[in-house]
A and B are shown apart, each in its own frame.
Chain A
């Protein structure tokens, strides 16, 4: 099983859209996920903040990265669900990437492939 059907969906979204994204993932049947706090730069314009009355720019914005490994359901479906859930229409909504995964192992049972996911 070299070319598996397992795919990794990586989504970078607004932190305040996380709970909606989780809800959408549960509804689409992919409840397992990994979440990390990240910061990054994209189309969202740089913010201006003040320290002791002096302005400085912050061009790295706080985002949340969600990683979902899907095997038995369509990654496209997951990506669409995420895209709908995290949408606001303003610059800075984030990005979603789908990457193939060559193999998966479940540590507890020793299962591999689709069963492991």
Chain B
């Protein structure tokens, strides 16, 4: 830039050349100052949006706490606390590195470089833009799942899954889609095969659909809450204890979502032709589409439930608002304003319908309607981006969207099943105490002691009937893990029988 200026300076004596040199220095210092301003403003903006996205965590916590029974609130909140508290540690030590590795491995021309992938750990300049900004998105994906499996999953099993998601399941997908390279980007294997990169601006698919599908798979694998379906398999609603908390959580979540969507437009200022440029138009489109999406979603869900149930359902309206947000999250910079509105309406309208389908047809007990709000809304919103694109419709882009959504869905289903299976092997997945004690009035007796093991032992662990007496001594029942815990060695099936609940 500065060389152009001096080249165009006519060489007319000493004074001109001196002034040329002064101009050149002036120009380069202006450029330097501009670059510093740009990076300063953009970094501060990124920090602010990180704080906003972090504020989605209390939103999720309240939303989920309101939708469960009073006796399980502490358990749900504990899961939300650990999603964030432990998640940020796991994501720092492992997650972001795997994010980098996933990109390297699936992009042509990039070699595997573990050192580069983990270089952020000792690089202060990467701690805001790379680590913190990625971490808040990862924790959002992680905490979505707890709403689906609430009230019955065992705490330890959930923590195990949460680590799996923040260390592996999410980082791989984020590495595929974001960061300039990776399988689904225009430089990745799939992107090159189809010819365009996958469009998902702030993570309708990468974050939300991933969390929603993981939640659905998790809820399927832990099974419904006791009493959720009667003997004929008909759905019996288990009302949450506070619609106030749920709606308050929804609004807090929507507030943080401005950071999620608008903040993904991380460049507020840029340097163009040596001058500062403000990206107001880009920011404006993102902010408007986010707002129209949530409005459309809430109104659509209210209308759909008003039409189907006789009165608008507050919880579905809240879900619709969030589903509208999810639907536009991937699309906000790419689509027209009416495109954003229509996506929001579709997202909100499908939430009650998909919830009924999940509940009545799949018989999956999705407590906080995680799949309709995050899963299906994210997939539909991302798929339809090319239909409402500012640049016009592109069949190639539509194909890439569909293929990418399928890749992410399959990855999420397979890895989630794997991690939950592992959690089941290492510890019993389902939480009995949370689930089993309630009466018809919803007045719950809190049982603080451990429940005695079932006389039948744990399901599925025994292929053939066992001898109940060996040498006339009652056999110790139960799985070998539990026998070990109670002081028995392999093959030693008699002797002192430790009672349940006794300490060693």
A residues apposed to B, CB below 8 Å: 39, 49-56, 59-60
B205 at the interface (CB under 8 A from A): no
**Are the CB atoms of A52 and B315 closer together than 8 Å?**
yes
Q: How far is the CB of A41 from chain B (nearest CB, A)?
A: 9
**Are the CB atoms of B352 and A51 closer together than 8 Å?**
no
**Are the CB atoms of A50 and B313 closer together than 8 Å?**
yes
B322 at the interface (CB under 8 A from A): no
Of B13-21, B234-242, B333-341, B424-432, the segment with at least 4 beta carbons within 8 Å of chain A is B234-242
- Chain A residues whose CB sits within 8 angstroms of the CB of B235 once the complex forms: 54
**Are the CB atoms of B441 and A39 closer together than 8 Å?**
yes
- Chain A residues whose CB sits within 8 angstroms of the CB of B489 once the complex forms: none
* Binary CB contact string for chain B from 236 to 264 against chain A (1 if under 8 A, 0 otherwise): 11111000000000000000000000000
Q: How far is the CB of A74 from chain B (nearest CB, A)?
A: 36
**Are the CB atoms of A53 and B352 closer together than 8 Å?**
yes
Q: Which of B298-317 contact A (CB under 8 A)?
A: 305, 308-309, 311, 313, 315-316
B54 at the interface (CB under 8 A from A): no
Can you report 20 A-B residue pairs in the complex whose CB atoms are below 8 A from each other? A39-B441, A50-B309, A50-B311, A50-B313, A51-B239, A51-B240, A52-B237, A52-B355, A52-B369, A53-B305, A53-B313, A53-B316, A53-B352, A53-B356, A54-B237, A54-B359, A55-B237, A56-B237, A59-B440, A60-B441
Q: Quick one: which of A39, A53, A54, A55 has the most chain B CB within 10 A?
A: A53
* A54-B236 Cα distance, complex, nearest whole Å: 8
**Are the CB atoms of B316 and A52 closer together than 8 Å?**
yes
- Chain B residues whose CB sits within 8 angstroms of the CB of A50 once the complex forms: 309, 311, 313
- Chain B residues whose CB sits within 8 angstroms of the CB of A53 once the complex forms: 305, 308-309, 313, 316, 352, 356
Whose C-beta in chain B lies nearest to the C-beta of A57?
B440
* A53-B355 Cα distance, complex, nearest whole Å: 10
Q: How far is the CB of A44 from chain B (nearest CB, A)?
A: 15
* A39-B442 Cα distance, complex, nearest whole Å: 12
Selected contact of A49 from candidates B239, B315, B359, B369, CB within 8 Å: B239
* A79-B315 Cα distance, complex, nearest whole Å: 43
- Chain B residues whose CB sits within 8 angstroms of the CB of A56 once the complex forms: 236-237, 239
Q: How far is the CB of A26 from chain B (nearest CB, A)?
A: 33
- Chain A residues whose CB sits within 8 angstroms of the CB of B315 once the complex forms: 51-52
- Chain B residues whose CB sits within 8 angstroms of the CB of A51 once the complex forms: 237-240, 315
- Chain B residues whose CB sits within 8 angstroms of the CB of A49 once the complex forms: 239
- Chain A residues whose CB sits within 8 angstroms of the CB of B236 once the complex forms: 56
Q: Quick one: which of A49, A52, A60 has the most chain B CB within 10 A?
A: A52
Q: How far is the CB of A111 from chain B (nearest CB, A)?
A: 39
Q: How far is the CB of A40 from chain B (nearest CB, A)?
A: 10
- Chain B residues whose CB sits within 8 angstroms of the CB of A39 once the complex forms: 441
- Chain A residues whose CB sits within 8 angstroms of the CB of B311 once the complex forms: 50
- Chain B residues whose CB sits within 8 angstroms of the CB of A60 once the complex forms: 441
